[in-house]
Structure 1
Amino acid sequence: MVKKAGRPLSADWVSTSVAISELGISRGHLFNLKNDGTFKVGKDFRDVRRSSGMRATYKWHLPNLQKTLSLGPEFR
């Protein structure tokens, strides 16, 4: 999902390095949670790469990630 032009992200959307630091998890664990469907595209993370970019660049919605990680699997 690519960020639409002129649509600024709120301060709740942070870089991968900030997300792993705030959550206290590794980069690999963060991406495993993304890949296994725990985190949802658009709600928990966004791909904000430039239209000409080859590699994905993610922004993470920190409050949503914290909320998801605080719930047990039976509540997801």
Structure 2
Amino acid sequence: MVRRPKQLGSEWVASGIVTKELGFAVLRLWKLRNEGLLREGYHWVNIARPQAARPTYRWHLDRIRQTLETPQEER
């Protein structure tokens, strides 16, 4: 389990902002996370309290964009 940062900077944004900026559905974002292309602690963090029923994700838009722009054979 990756520890979440105590304070997130403005570069960490909600799912809706990422999908709007990148032009795809939130389901694709979750698929990329589940497939391991987007890594916990680097591309995304769960900011929900440990006892929360559901996770609350924040995403690093610039890192996601950079990963998606990298040719697949170089990832």
TM-score by length of 1: 0.89
Task: Tell me which stretches of 4 or more aligned residues in structure 1 moved more than 4 Å.
Answer: none
What SS class does the counterpart of residue 73 from structure 2 fall into?
A: helix
8 Å CA contact 1:44, 1:64 repeated in 2: yes
Question: Unpaired runs of 5+ in structure 1?
Answer: none
- The two structures, once aligned, show a CA RMSD in angstroms of 1.3
Structure-2 separation of matches of 1:3 and 1:45: 9
Amino acid at match of 1:3: R
8 Å CA contact 2:43, 2:63 repeated in 1: yes
Question: Unpaired runs of 5+ in structure 2?
Answer: none
- Partner in structure 2 of residue 72 of structure 1: 71
Percent identity, aligned pairs only, is: 30
TM-score by length of 2: 0.90
What SS class does the counterpart of residue 31 from structure 2 fall into?
A: helix
Give the aligned length. 74
